[in-house]
Amino acid sequence: MAMRFTEMPSEQELHDQMTNAEEALRLIRLRLHPTIERAREIYDEWSPMKGWLIEEAAVIGIGLDPGHLDLIQYMNEEDAAKFHKLRKHLIREFEESRVPPPEFVSWGRRNERVVDRAVISEIEKRLRKPERKVDASRKDMTLLKMVLAMAIGKYKYLNGNTSPSSVAKSIIEDFDSLESGVSLSKGAILQALQRAIDEDDNIKAAIDRRKTMSGVLNK
């Protein structure tokens, strides 16, 4: 029986195979590096989590995509060195347990030599509680309520024995004592006090109860 010999690939074919393999490896490694849009998605998705695996934290910490953990064996030498260095530090700190994002940020701030600063900043931004926005109308109402409280407490507004006009006059006199060069009118003061009452049902009900009680006591 004649032996069959496999034909050896030519130098060109070997070169093409190596080129294709290198290109495939380059593309695999490229997938580990997220685009700006993908990076934002990563931080939005991973920051609210309770905890990350050590490998996930290490991949996130050097700025790679934790969604491709199955590809980390193909990372380039530079990324591999960073990954193993950070992983070793994380194991010492967290002992193979889950890594909570807030603790990762706190630890990363103290170990910026092994963690990407930009990554820490991005995660930290997403961990901050959003400031409560208060619209202008709510701010205005808060001020009006304060003025109403002072008018009732100091100037006896709605007392029954003190007229609204005399209350406004007293407020103007106190304001004029500041010598600010700015003037207040009785109409503006009374309008503001009434608005504070009209635009809050709870205050309006309280004022009505106050008037009722005042009427009963004056009988």
CB contact at 8 A, 43 and 65: no
Residue-level pLDDT at 101: 93
Residue-level pLDDT at 59: 94
**Successive 10-residue mean pLDDT values, the chain, 219 residues:** 55 62 75 89 92 94 90 89 93 87 92 90 85 62 83 81 84 84 82 82 79 55
